[in-house]
Structure 1
Amino acid sequence: MTKPYVKQDIQQGIATIEFFHPAHNSLPGDILAKLAQTITDAGTNDEVKVIVLKSGGDRTFCAGASFKELISINDAGTGKVFFSGFANVINAMRKCPKFIIGRIQGKTVGGGVGVASATDYCMATKFAAIKLSELNIGIGPFVVGPAVERKLGLSGMSQIAIDANSFYEAEWARQKGLYAKVFDSTEALDEAVQAFAEHLCTYNPEAMKEMKKVFWRGTEDWDELLAERAVISGRLVLSDFTKEKLKRFE
C-alpha cells in the first residue's frame, strides 16, 4: 500500500469505511473530502445498518493533518479551507443517521483524535495512545476540540491539549470515555468490532436513528462553530511562530 485512498465495503448491512495514507495515515484535504462524502453516502444507503470506520495498516490509526499541506498554506483563505476538511468529516459523522463504530488499532494524533471522538462507539488496542500536538506548532485543536471535549470532558480535553508533547495511553482514554473497550491485539479488536457490528444489525434501524439524535443533541450549531474554529486555525498557521516550527518538517 503506497497510494492514499478511501474505500468502502458493504457486507450484510455493515459498511466498513477505510482510509489510508503512507505518511502514517495523515489526512490531506482530498482524503478528508472523500472521507466526509463516503460517510454521508453510507448514511443515506438503505443497505447499510451500521458503519465501521478504520484506517489501513497495522500501526498508526491517524497522524492528523498533512504537514506537507500545512507547510504550503500561505493565506488565511487556504488555511480555512484546509482545516474545514476536518470539520466536514466530524459534521458528516455527527449528522450520519447510522451508528459509527471506531476501530483504532494504533496511535492517533491531532485531527485523528477528533475523528475517533466523533464515532458513536469506539474500540481500540492497548497501543492506541492519543496526543493533541497542535499547540506544539503554534496552533491548537480548535476544530476537533468540540468533538474531543464531548467525549473526554473539558478537563480531559484541556489536559491533553495543554500537554501537547505527551502521548496518553489507551487505558487513560478508556477511563475518560473515548474508548469503550481496549484489547491486547489487533486480532482481538477486529473480532470484537465485527461481533459488535453484527449485533447492532439486529436492532431496529429507526430506534438507532432516534438514539443517535439524542446522543448528539446540543451540537446543532457545529456547522457554524467548526467553521469559526477553522478560521482561527487558518490564521494561526500563518504566524511567524508556526512557520518557523513547520520548517522542521520540510
Structure 2
Amino acid sequence: MKVLFLGDVVGEAGREVVRIAVVRLRQEKTIDFVVVNGENAAGGSGITPKITYELLRYGVDVVTLGDHAWDQREIVPFLADEPRLLRPLNYPSNTPGSGSIVVQGNGKKLGVVCALGRTFMTPQTDNPFLTVRPALEAIRRETSCILVDFHSEATSEKIAFGRYLDGQVSAVVGTHTHVQTADGKILPGGTAYLTDVGFCGAHDSVIGREVGPVIQRYVTLLPQRFGLATKGLQADGVLLTLDDPSGRAIAIEPIQLAI
C-alpha cells in the first residue's frame, strides 16, 4: 500500500498546490490513499465546509486538523457530519467530530488518526499519549495499516510520541511547524517517522506568510498584518509504502514538489 501525506495547506496557494500535486503524484507513484493537513487552508487560519469539499474533490481521502481547527465558526456543526474531516482526538469526548477514521479503496483499508501535542501549544488538551490507545484498538479491528498525524510544536514531544507508538502504527508524521525536517526513518518496531513534513503553499515566504511584515515585527516589535505569500509554490509531504497484512512500514520518502 502507498500512502501520500501532505503537510499543512496554507491558504489559496496551498489549495492550488494540492490540486496539482495530488493528480501528478497519484499518476507517478501509484498512490492508494491521500491524507492532508488542512488546518490553515482557509486564508491561513482554519478550514470551512466548502474548502473541505474542495480538497476532497481534488482526490484527498482524509483531511486532518490541529490547533486552528475551530478558527472558522461554521466548521463546528460540520465536523459532526463529515467523518473524513478529523479534529484532534484528544479534545474532550463531547467535542463535535472525530479524531480517527478507517477509509477504504482499491480493496484496501487505512486507519488515520489525528492528535494534538501539548508542549508550547494551546489549548491544553487531554494527554495524547493516553487518549490515542483506545482509538488504535478500535482501528486494529479493521486494519493494521494506521497513519498518525501528530500536530505539535516541540520536536522532543514529536520524537517521543513516535517512539511511544513504534510497532503499534504504520507511521507517525508531524505537522504544525511548516518546515520539513531531515530525519525520516523507519523505527526499530517498523513504524515510519518524520518530525515534520513541511507545508503546501508559497515557499518564497516565512512559513507561508509575506516576508516583509514578519521581519518588521521582529525588528520593531510592533503589530503587523501577516499576509499570505503567493510565490514559490511547493508541496511538502511524505510518501509511505506499507505492508498490508502487517501494517509495518517498508519505505518512507520525503516529498518536496515544486509546482
TM-score range, shorter chain: 0.3 to 0.5
Structure with more helix by fraction: 1
Kindly indicate which of the two structures has a greater share of residues assigned to strand: 2
TM (normalized to structure 2)?
0.33
TM value normalised by structure 1:
0.33
